[in-house]
Amino acid sequence: MSQGISRRAVLLGAAAVAATAGPLASATSAAAAERAGRAAKTPKVLVIGLDGAMVRRIKDADAPNLDALMAAGVTAPSSIYTNPMAPTSSGPGWTTLITGVWPDKHKVVNNDFTGHNLAQYPDFLTRVETAKPSLKTYAVASWNPVTDIIFSAKVDERVSTPEAEYDTGTTSRAVAKVKTDVDAVFVHLDNVDHAGHASGNASQAYLDALHGVDTQVGQIVAAVKSRATYGSEDWLIMITADHGHTATGGHGGDSWDERQTFMIATGAGLPAGVTRYDVKMPDVAVSALHHLGVAVNPSWNLDGRPVQQSTPDAFDALRGSLQKRVDETGVGADVLGFTHVAPSGWSIDNSKMGTGGVTEWRGWSFTTDEFWTQAEKSQQRELNVRARNVFAVADGDEWTDKTFTGTFDSTLISPKFAVTPGAAATLTYTTYYRQESPQKGEVLIAYGNAAPVVVKTYTADTSSRVEKITLQVPAGATTAQVRFRYTGGNNWYWTIDGVNITA
């Protein structure tokens, strides 16, 4: 588009044409004009990391700038892993956010960065430099490993703020940089983490630190908006954190508070004032790449997906109907987190299921990370990192914590997916499976009206992953239905999410 033609002129011109074509054409043309106007703008990215910040405490603090960003965009509370994948510490946390993969891939499992795999999974600014070397990238951090280790030397400029200057120096450098010719900026601020260690997340000192960092965020965002070229630019601004803190101070363990992180995201195309539960830590890096027009190659094996592309699955629709605890005592009394009612098109066959046991886990259940992991900590439920929002779980271990008869034998049944007769198809789902004999997990496919056949069996520990199973559709079959059957007793568990069959 010529620089002499304003976005407003494009919109007005399109509206004038649409006015002669009726209401539907008008709406369609106006939307097209809006997309065209946005496409004409230059994409820019600003990511600000607030070490140790918790979004629920931001809401309790005097934080008008962060409140304004939440009102203008998406707020996505999220949770992370714990040991044995990695502790809830800064090295693994920032590396996950910056690379777009979980610790089982980038291999940063401490603050020493020993044995890391950053050569295979580099930071998002390095990927920007590789794909679009003309773009100008910048990273500045109050904690030196962020800019000394996680971001590579390919980044145009990496600055580790001297300790004497700390967050004040980091902020002044960021403010100065975003006023220049720059395309992608990462800023790390550390003082909230210091307050958390010294006083805990329940303290006034922690709220005061959030107020202080809110002022610094406001200064950086104001600098972005003061750019002479701001009107012709499309800025994606994301605020995030690497971990949370306990009420009394510290992190690294498996408590719910320590496992907390979040994304606040504002920018064109993102709705205002929306809370989402399907966003995960690796989405920060991938959202930045997507916004800058860097196509994510499947061979990169990234775990994130763009926040701009919300793709909820059938299970996520159940969030509004989740119930409070019944028999579980470890879960907070007010936490909404389980249901046995399947979403539309899905069903559960409990005809062979034992009786009694813990109500929440009698047969396949639909639950959330907050509810399920708090039911029983330190049994590695926290490693179910690739499931999003609401997921399905069969948990024989928890079911048997109350008097029961029989065995756990429950089958989760999908809707019928359309397939092409005689052609190949792919079954995709996210899973996490922990084994103890005689437990077994079976994946079965029923084509058309034929009897189900087993296509996958789980009898060994399987880390959180996305499974892809190639199917050969029989001639004459136009549908395929998936069954997930879990059998066992006082054993472990199996989670399922994001089920789909594609040609």
CA dihedral 240→244→250→253, nearest 10 degrees, is -120
| Tokens representing residue 502 in the block | 């594609």
> What residue type is assigned to position 107 of the chain?
K
Average pLDDT over residues 470-474: 97
477: pLDDT strictly greater than 50: yes
Q: How much is the pLDDT for 308?
A: 96
pLDDT in tens, 457-466: 999 999 999 9
Query: 435: number of CA atoms within 13 Å, CB side?
Result: 12
Phi then psi for residue 206, to 5 deg, are: -65, -45
Residue 99 neighbours by CB distance under 10 Å = 32
320: Cα separation from own chain's centroid: 19
Instruction: Provide the pairing of β-strand 137-141 with 408-418.
Output: unpaired
Fold of 41-300: Alkaline Phosphatase, subunit A (3.40.720)
pLDDT > 90 in the chain, percent: 90
| Tokens representing residue 410 in the block | 């429950």
Of 32-46, 304-318, 458-472, the poorest mean pLDDT is in: 32-46
Q: What is the largest CA-CA distance in the chain?
A: 77
Q: How far is CA 192 from CA 78, 204, 326, in A?
A: 18, 12, 37
Q: How much is the pLDDT for 38?
A: 58
R_g of the chain, CA atoms, integer Å: 24
Fold of 314-502: Jelly Rolls (2.60.120)
10: pLDDT strictly greater than 50: no
Give the chain's mean pLDDT.
93
Q: How much is the pLDDT for 40?
A: 87
187: pLDDT strictly greater than 60: yes
What is the reported pTM? 0.90
pLDDT in tens, 310-354: 888 999 999 999 999 999 999 999 999 999 999 999 999 999 999
Q: How much is the pLDDT for 190?
A: 97
Q: How far apart are CA 413 and CA 496, in angstroms?
A: 11
Q: How much is the pLDDT for 39?
A: 66
pLDDT > 70 in the chain, percent: 92
Confidence class for position 37, pLDDT limits 50, 70, 90: low
2: pLDDT strictly greater than 50: no
Domain definitions of the chain by residue range: 7-39, 41-300, 314-502
| Tokens representing residue 173 in the block | 């450098």
CB 444 within 8 A of CB 471: no
CA dihedral 94→97→98→99, nearest 10 degrees, is 110
DSSP for residue 337? -
Q: How much is the pLDDT for 350?
A: 98
36: pLDDT strictly greater than 90: no
43 forms beta bridges with 234
Instruction: Compute the residue count for the chain.
Output: 503
Average pLDDT over residues 281-295: 98
CB 395 within 8 A of CB 479: no
19: pLDDT strictly greater than 90: no
Do 314-502 and 41-300 fall under one CATH topology? no
**Three-state DSSP state, 209:** helix
pLDDT in tens, 132-166: 999 999 999 999 999 999 999 999 999 999 988 99
H helices within 312-410, ranges in order? Answer: 369-375, 396-399
32: pLDDT strictly greater than 80: no
- Closest alpha carbon to 455 in 485, 423, 432: 485
Of 162-166, 227-231, 366-370, 436-440, the poorest mean pLDDT is in: 162-166
397: pLDDT strictly greater than 90: yes
430: pLDDT strictly greater than 90: yes
Q: Which residue has the tokens 């920060």?
A: 284
DSSP for residue 269? T
Q: How far apart are CA 18 and CA 7, in angstroms?
A: 17
Task: Give, in degrees to the nearest 5, the angle at Cα 364 between 360 and 366.
Answer: 70
